Every structure is written in structure tokens, then in C-alpha cells.
Amino acid sequence: MPNHSIKTPCVGLCSTVYGDLVCRGCKRFHHEVIQWNGYGEDEKRAVWMRLEQLLVQVMTAKLEVFDAMRLRQQLEQRQIRFVPQQSEYCWAYQLIARGARVIRDVEAYGMVLLPEFRGWELPQLRDAIDREFFLLSEAHYQRYIAPGFLKDALG
């Protein structure tokens, strides 16, 4: 699938069908998952930007991308989907999410783990990143979205 054709953050692991307010797969809010196809470009862009900001926050606390071009080349060579317009830290997440079990030397991909994570196995790091990304998305929902839904429900 060409990189430019990624039209949705969906990763095919939706948990909103089980009642989660934040999807454990893509980290969108339940109403965003349901209404995505009805959203205009500005609404979709706002969701993409929030997801990117939260993911970059998590990733920059775990690793440093020192060669974005090398990382991009590796993603393209391995045919790993990514959004070219997003931060290279989102690209790094895609690489780790897809290749955690086979990558042995992250420096060969243009990135280095921060000292406190250098002893971690990549599958362990991937799971920690995913958990933290989910928790940040959930906290964002509770802080900024849930009060509005409550207010609307109470009229």
C-alpha cells in the first residue's frame, strides 16, 4: 500500500466495539472512530495532529532519531507503512511496532535508544510505548472531551 494512501489512523485492532472510550489500537476516541467517514478534512487533520503530538511526546522520551533520511529509507525498503508528513518519531514508532522482533541494531535505522532504555528488548519497549500512548490518549479524553459530553447530556 503506498504511503500516501493511509486515510485513517485505524490499525485494525478496534476496541471501541467492546465499549472502550479510547481505541486501544489507533488511540482515537470512540466518537471519532464512529464518525470518521463523515468528518471533513479539517476534523480529520485535527485528530491526526493530536495523535501525532501525543505519540511524539512518548517517543522522544524513549529514543532519538539522528538520521531521519536513513529511517525513511529503511521504512520504504521494508515496505512499512508510514505517513511522510508526520514527524520522524511517528516513523520510528511504525518501525518498532512492525519490526520489534527482528531489529537487532536500532542505530542502523537512524535512531538510538536513550540511556535508560538501552537494556530493553524492542518488544518490551514497543509495548511500553503503546501503553503510554494509550494512557495519554485516555487522559486527554478525560480532561478535554468527557466534560463536554457530560455537559451535553445534562443539557
Model's pTM, two decimal places? 0.89
Q: What is the DSSP letter of 23?
A: -
Q: Which one, of 66, 146, 152, lies nearest residue 110 by Cα?
A: 66
Q: Return the beta strands (E) in 85-129 as ranges.
A: 111-113
Which residue from 92, 98, 51, 100 is spatially nearest to 68, judged by alpha carbons?
A: 92
pLDDT along the chain (155 residues), means of 10: 61 83 94 94 94 98 98 96 95 96 96 97 98 96 82 59
